[in-house]
Amino acid sequence: MDAHAAHDIRSHVKTYYMIFGALMLLTCITVAVSYFHLPIPMAITVALIVATIKGSLVALFFMHLSDERKLIYYVLALTVVFFIFMMFVPLLTVSDKIPGTTVGTIW
């Protein structure tokens, strides 16, 4: 390995430790926010936003997605489309509430 490539990796190593610190901080924030006993819709929103930030940091830096070939982006974009579709399937049940009950509401 040439000296230039080794220097590049060393700068990556610094980034990895910074990302580690950020992930720890965000984990603490996730737990701390849960003690505020926010209303459920707000709690779900905050928890998922923090988890998405953490997941993005892992994917972008540890999985090197920030500097990857286009083909992988295309594969992941297609996956995201199907993922979102799958997440919204349960919403179809909202139109199928049982009269006189709370069944069919998420909270």
Q: Residues interacting with other proteins, by CB under 8 A?
A: 1, 5-6, 9-10, 12-13, 16-17, 19-20, 23-24, 27, 30-31, 34, 40, 43-44, 47-48, 50-51, 54-55, 58-59, 62-63, 69-72, 75-76, 78-79, 82-83, 86-87, 89-90, 93-94, 101-106
For residue 10, give the 3-state DSSP assignment. Answer: helix
CA–CA separation, 78 and 88 (whole Å): 16
Residues near 23 by beta carbon (within 8 Å), at least 6 away in sequence: 54, 57, 58
Residue 79 Cβ vs other proteins, minimum distance, rounded to whole Å? 4
